[in-house]
Structures are given as C-alpha cells and as structure tokens.
C-alpha cells in the first residue's frame, strides 16, 4: 500500500478515517489474519500449539503481556513481529513528538496547532515499522528516560517558565503513543522505576515531576523476563505484575526435529562453504543433541538455560572446522566428520553457565562430556545397543573390532587428515566397514565414512574402546583394558 496522500485534518475527516486504539487495531488485524488463514508469526518454530495461541489470545483480549522464559527462546523476536499486525500507515499531527492522533490530540503542541489552523492542520503519515520501541532494562535506566523531565534548555530557548508544560522533554513511553513498547529483562529495572509504570498500565496516564498532566497514553506494552531474574538479579514488584494482564510462558524446542529446523533457519553459512561441504544428517542431529544433553546435565545450571544460540554457533563452527581442514589438506571437496566436533567446543564453553561441579571439571571438559553424551544417546538409533550384549559378548556385532584393538592395535585420526588418509585409516580397522554396511546398506560412500568414525566414538562412549585426545589434534582409539593397565598415556595422548 502506497503512502496516503491526505495532507490536512480536513481531508482526513472527509475521508471517513476512524480513530482506533492500538489494542483495537492489533485485535482487528489479528482477526483478519486468522479468518484468512495467514500466519501471524513467521519463522517462529515449535510454538504453534503453545506460545503463539497464548499471544494471540492476549492480543484478542487487548492485554499488555509479559513473555517469561529462559534465554534464547525467541521472546524479543515475537514482540518485534507484532508490528506486522499494525495498519501500514498511521496519521499524526505533523511535528508532534508523541504521535498525536489528529482526531484525538493529547499534547499542548497539537491542541494549539489545531486551534490555530483548524481543518488546515498538516497531517503526516507514520509507517508501522516506526511504531515500535524497544528498551533493554538496565540499572541505570531513569524515570526521565522512560517518561520524561523538564528540559532547561528548551525552557531557556522558548523563554518559558518551568511551570509551562511545553518545557517537558518526553521520554520513550510518551513517544511510543499509539505504538508497541517493549521492555526487555524487566526484573533488571530498579523497583522505583517499575513503580512509575503503575499509572501508565492501569490508568494510561503519566506523571512528570510537578506538572498536572493527564495523558491517556495509548501503548501496547510487551515485557520480557527470565525466570532466573526473579530471584537473582532482581524482581518484578508485585503491584506491577498484577497490572500486566497476560503472562505467557515460552520454552525450548520439545523435539530434535524442531530444534534442527530452527538451527538451519538461523545459521548463516557462506555460499563458498556450502559448495565444498556435505554432511550426514546425523551430524546435525548431534549438534541439537548437545543442547538437549546440556539442559539436563548435572554440570550446567538449569535456571540459566541453554540458548538456541549454542546450536546455531555450533552448527556454523562445525562447517567451518570442515572447511578449514579441506583448505589445509588441499581437498577440493570434503564432508563433515565426527572429529570436526572439536571445532564445536568454543560454541559450548561460552554459552553454558556451570554449577559448582561443572566449575570443578572446567568448561572445556564439560564441553567434551556433553559431546560424548550426545554421541552415546544417538548411537543406539544407528547401531545395535551395546548394553544388550554385555552378558553375551560373543554375540556382539562389535567383537571383531574390539578384538583387533585387544591385540595391541590402535588408531589415530588426526584432525587434518586429507580425504584419502582419513578413508585409509578407517578401513584399516577390521569389521568396521562390515558393521556399517550391515546396518546401513544404502548409505553412500561419504556417509559410510562418517558412520564408521561415529561407530568408533560410540563404542568408546559405551566403554568398548578407549579414546584419547592427541596433542597434534585429533582423536586416538585403543583397547580399553590396555588403557586401564598402562601407567599413563603416551606423550602424544591425553585420556578423556
């Protein structure tokens, strides 16, 4: 829709324009979307049956709302997409600081201008993209920032006494009149600042120092908060919580499939990287499984949560690790390997909050443990569960492989092996290819190699083999008992 050409108050009245509150506007447009079957929140996956219906009900009820959930749960993204439910263009009194409705003016400026110009009062049009304000609550936010204060420079310039309301410099909330106003991390806002929001939420008016103002502001408030903040960094004062009409709980993806869709949607991979890399779908499943393991780990603080940003960063780092290896080895094409998950470690260490036990282990070790647990969880989905062969090891499909290691053989898979050397190393283990071929007969050659390496890592997680980190970069495998009875790893090895 093109920008309207109506330029004066008189033309606006003759056009039949009817003023609506922003909550009525959101409700009206949401109803139209629902009746037409149009999606309201694009790219928000996993909330179709939970959070999105709750938000839609809050909008239909014309409620101010708070989105309550751990970090990385798309709270701010949902708030930003509410802009799409606004009318594309909104008329205001031209020059107004607070988006004055030409038919329902609030400010002294608008009243004076309309009284002076009448139907010739100029009208400007504001696009819906400009009707959104977002503020991160920090301890230094002041009442002047949010609501306003007297401006001595304006008073001096206009030669007005401080009792004249025209000297007021309006804060973010009055400037968001007829708009959506979002306060992120609400508990971080000081209690005395939260108190200043009481009247705005309940009666819709503001109070600025000694001015006798009553502005029935028209604002759609959306707050976000982390449940951890209620007891750690701050709290939401009870009277303010009581004035927020709807509290909506967000959550992390409930299935690996949804989590994978989110990560692929959000991750940014360079075009040249995509052209040289392939990956087994299991690699992406393992990325998501790491986050699921972290959310249930005894080393990670569950109150802090594990953001979806972990898997997005891990997804990108996994591809970059494979790309770097291909460049170093001179391979024109390559595939993601299990060993490339070493490149995922930096994506984990900075995005999990550790409890005491985790601090004792250290972030690097915890990252290794989470990767190992992800491999262990997924292993029975691709190969027979080693636990079922503990009593009758002679029937184990892994017997030929473990026997080879038991006779004193070991295998080192360096991080920077070229494709040919990597393939040769895996095929040197008797029974490994046969295991993959039996359970994945239709897998292409590149996927077979990934599954062969994955089988070794999985066997190590189920204590059928011992694996260790190589100082030169990479992973080594040897017999578990040989490792247990040796005094210490070789100079090139570090057990883990």
Among 376, 421, 401, 419, smallest CA distance to 465 is for: 401
* Number of residues assigned to the chain: 496
Asked if 204 and 22 count as a contact pair (C-beta separation under 8 A), the reply is no
The per-residue pLDDT for 490 is 46
Given a contact cutoff of 8 angstroms between Cβ atoms, the answer to whether 465 and 402 are in contact is yes
Structure tokens at 39: 């999606």
Task: Quote the distance between the C-alpha of residue 12 and its chain's center.
Answer: 43
Confidence check: pLDDT of 483 > 80: no
Question: Measured between alpha carbons, how far is 362 from 367 in angstroms, rounded to an integer?
Answer: 9
pLDDT at 140: 85
pLDDT beyond 60 at 93: yes
Cα-based distances in Å from 428 to 188, 386, 470, 482: 58, 22, 19, 20
Identify the pLDDT of residue 487.
44
With 50 as the cut, is the pLDDT of residue 7 above it?
Answer: yes
Instruction: Compute the average pLDDT of residues 130-147.
Output: 90
* Structure confidence at residue 231 as a pLDDT band (50, 70, 90): very low
Give the bridge partners for 168, in sequence order.
150
Q: pLDDT at position 12, please?
A: 96
**Which residue is listed with tokens 């949401």?**
30
Whether the pLDDT of residue 405 is over 70: the answer is yes
Q: Across residues 110-126, what is the average pLDDT?
A: 95
Q: Is the pLDDT of residue 150 over 80?
A: no
Cβ 304 vs Cβ 246: under 8 Å: no
For the chain, the first-to-last Cα distance in angstroms comes to: 62
Say how many CA atoms lie within 13 Å of 120 toward its Cβ: 2
- The percent of residues above 70 in pLDDT, for the chain, comes to 91
- CATH code reported for the domain at 9-249: 3.40.50.300
Are β-strands 474-478 and 466-470 bridged in parallel, bridged antiparallel, or unpaired?
antiparallel
Instruction: Say if residues 429 and 406 touch (Cβ distance below 8 Å).
Output: no
Model confidence at 390: pLDDT above 90: no
Q: Residue ranges of the domains in the chain?
A: 9-249, 253-381, 384-496
In tens, the pLDDT along 308-353 reads 999 999 999 999 999 999 999 999 999 999 999 999 999 999 899 9
Block residue for tokens 């201008």 = 113
What is the Rg, in whole angstroms, of the alpha carbon atoms belonging to the chain? Answer: 31
- Residue 408, by phi and psi: left (phi above 0), alpha (psi -120 to 50) or beta? left
- What is the model's pLDDT at position 488? 47
Query: In the predicted model, what is the mean pLDDT of the chain?
Result: 90
Write out pLDDT tens, residues 174-219: 899 999 999 999 988 888 888 888 878 877 666 776 666 677 889 9
pLDDT value of residue 148 = 79
Asked if CATH classification 1.10.530 holds for the domain at 253-381, the reply, yes or no, is no
């Amino acid at each position: 829709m093109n920008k309207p050409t109506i330029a004066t108050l008189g033309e606006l009245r003759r056009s039949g324009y009817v003023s609506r509150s922003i909550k009525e506007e959101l409700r009206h447009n949401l109803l139209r979307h629902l009746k037409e079957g149009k999606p309201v929140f694009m790219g928000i996956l996993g909330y179709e049956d939970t959070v999105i219906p709750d938000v839609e009900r809050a909008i239909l009820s014309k409620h101010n709302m708070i989105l309550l959930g751990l970090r990385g749960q798309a709270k701010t993204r949902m708030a930003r997409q509410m802009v799409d439910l606004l009318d594309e263009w909104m008329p205001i009194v031209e020059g107004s600081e607070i988006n004055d409705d030409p038919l329902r003016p609030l400010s002294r400026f608008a009243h004076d201008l309309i009284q002076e110009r009448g139907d010739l009062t100029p009208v400007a049009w504001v696009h819906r993209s400009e009707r959104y304000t977002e503020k991160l609550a920090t301890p230094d936010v002041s009442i002047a920032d949010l609501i306003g204060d007297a401006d001595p420079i304006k008073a001096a310039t206009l030669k007005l006494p401080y009792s004249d309301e025209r000297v007021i410099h309006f804060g973010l909330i009055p400037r968001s009149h007829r708009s959506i106003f979002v306060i992120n991390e609400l508990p971080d806002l000081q209690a005395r600042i939260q108190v200043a929001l009481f009247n705005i939420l309940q009666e819709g008016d503001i109070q600025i120092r000694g001015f006798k103002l009553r502005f029935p502001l028209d604002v759609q408030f959306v707050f976000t908060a982390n449940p951890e903040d209620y007891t750690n960094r701050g709290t939401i004062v009870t009277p303010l919580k009581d004035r927020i009409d709807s509290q909506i709980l967000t959550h992390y993806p409930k299935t690996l499939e949804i989590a994978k869709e989110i990560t692929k949607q959000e991750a940014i991979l360079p075009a040249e990287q995509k052209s040289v890399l392939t990956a087994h779908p299991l690699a992406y499943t393992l990325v998501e499984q790491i986050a699921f393991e972290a959310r249930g780990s005894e080393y990670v603080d569950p109150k802090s949560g594990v953001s979806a940003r972990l898997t997005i960063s891990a997804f990108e780092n996994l591809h970059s690790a494979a790309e770097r290896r291909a460049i170093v080895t001179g391979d024109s094409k390559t595939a993601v390997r299990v060993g490339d998950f070493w490149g995922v470690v930096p994506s984990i260490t900075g995005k999990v909050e550790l409890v005491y036990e985790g601090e004792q282990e250290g972030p690097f070790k915890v990252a290794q443990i989470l990767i190992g647990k992800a491999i262990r969880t997924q292993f029975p989905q691709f190969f027979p569960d080693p636990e079922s062969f503990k009593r009758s090891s002679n029937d184990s499909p892994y017997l030929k492989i473990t026997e080879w290691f038991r006779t004193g053989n070991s295998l080192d898979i360096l991080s920077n092996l070229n494709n040919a050397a990597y393939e040769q190393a895996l095929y040197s283990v008797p029974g490994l290819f046969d295991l993959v071929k039996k359970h994945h007969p239709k897998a292409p050659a590149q996927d077979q190699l990934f599954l062969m390496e994955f089988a070794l890592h999985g066997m190590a997680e189920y204590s059928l083999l011992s694996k260790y980190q190589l100082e030169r970069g990479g992973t080594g495998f040897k017999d578990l008992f040989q490792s247990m009875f040796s005094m210490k790893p070789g100079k090139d090895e570090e057990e883990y």
